[in-house]
Amino acid sequence: MALLDLANPQRFLALVRVLVPALAALAAALLVIGFALGFRAPADYQQGETVRIMYVHVPSAWLALGIYTLMAIAALGTLVWRHPLADVAAKAAAPIGAAFCLLCLITGALWGRPMWGAYWVWDARLTSMLVLFLLYLGILALWRAIEEPGQAARAVAILTLVGFINVPIVKFSVDWWNTLHQPASVFRLDGPTIHPAILTPLLLTAAGFAALFLALQLAAMRNEILRRRVRTLRLLAAAEAR
Amino acid sequence: MDFGAHAGFILAAYGAAFIVLGALVLWVLLDHRAQRQAIAALEAQGITRRSARAAAEDTH
């Protein structure tokens, strides 16, 4: 199926009806297996049992960055290619990305307290992640501030693209600055530095979180299409009442 | 399962994940129901999209 075929809302909604339950089931299976393996994995030699927070914290961080990247691509889709589903995708993704970003910040604080002795420090990684969360909140506020969906989409697309500069800053903050947060230990040129006993459950929970995101994203896009249908019907009703 | 001295932090992290992701799933489900109900209410008043109206007229 070509990307253009998905511009037809009926075809897209039919696809969503099939994909959402399948992705939700896949997410549940991956998360059950991932967490089961994660809780049976040995404790880290330095971080002890708290390493188990990683199975929630790291996938949340990856998704918070990945979803923002998806929103930036959707912003290009709105401004350059004018694909009808681009702004629907961007609007649906924003609250989901914000939720994963919030979860990353909460679990990071809960991991930081026993390891660093503080829930929060103003180091480059934590601060840039907080900026990402504030960007998500700004985008959500802008969606709500402009009533006409097309106008809102263009304004949000510009803000999203400007804010995208923060994504590489989050990723490379641990390399560019001297941070309390540890450097990358999975996506490295010389390969992961984590033992397979801990890495395997991490990758499984990350895949589970990704499948959950896709299920939520498609369901939220369906909701947005229905919301626009409601808006159109109300405008029709108002025009006929005149 | 014994999480040692830091059990509270580990359980709080998983509790936060359960609450945040649970709220997200609930929001998507409730939003879907709200939109479906809004469309049903409008259609019950005889307000339908032009394409749906045209399709209905074609069948008569």
Interface residue A119 vs chain B (CB under 8 A): no
The predicted pLDDT at position A222 comes to 96
The predicted pLDDT at position B52 comes to 62
Q: Determine, for residues A240 and B47 on separate chains, whether the beta-carbon distance falls below 8 Å.
A: yes
pLDDT-derived band of residue B10, with 50, 70 and 90 as boundaries? very high
Sequence-distant (6+) residues with CB within 8 A of A177 are: A123, A124
The predicted pLDDT at position B54 comes to 61
pLDDT exceeds 60 at position B59: no
Interface residue B50 vs chain A (CB under 8 A): yes
Q: How far is A80 from chain B (nearest CA, A)?
A: 28
* Residue from A67, A223, A235 whose CB has the most chain B CBs within 10 Å, to mutate: A223
pLDDT exceeds 80 at position B1: no
Q: What is the pLDDT of residues A107-126, one digit of tens each?
A: 999 999 999 999 999 999 99
Q: Determine, for residues A95 and B21 on separate chains, whether the beta-carbon distance falls below 8 Å.
A: no
Q: What is the pLDDT of residues B21-55, one digit of tens each?
A: 999 999 999 999 999 999 999 988 888 876 666 65
The predicted pLDDT at position A181 comes to 86
pLDDT exceeds 70 at position B60: no
Q: Could you tell me if B24 and A24 are in contact, meaning their C-beta atoms sit under 8 angstroms apart?
A: no
Interface residue B41 vs chain A (CB under 8 A): no
Taking 50 as the pLDDT cut, the residues of chain A under it are none
The predicted pLDDT at position A214 comes to 98
The predicted pLDDT at position B39 comes to 93
The predicted pLDDT at position A7 comes to 66
The residues that bridge with A48 in the sheet, in sequence order, are A44
Interface residue B26 vs chain A (CB under 8 A): no
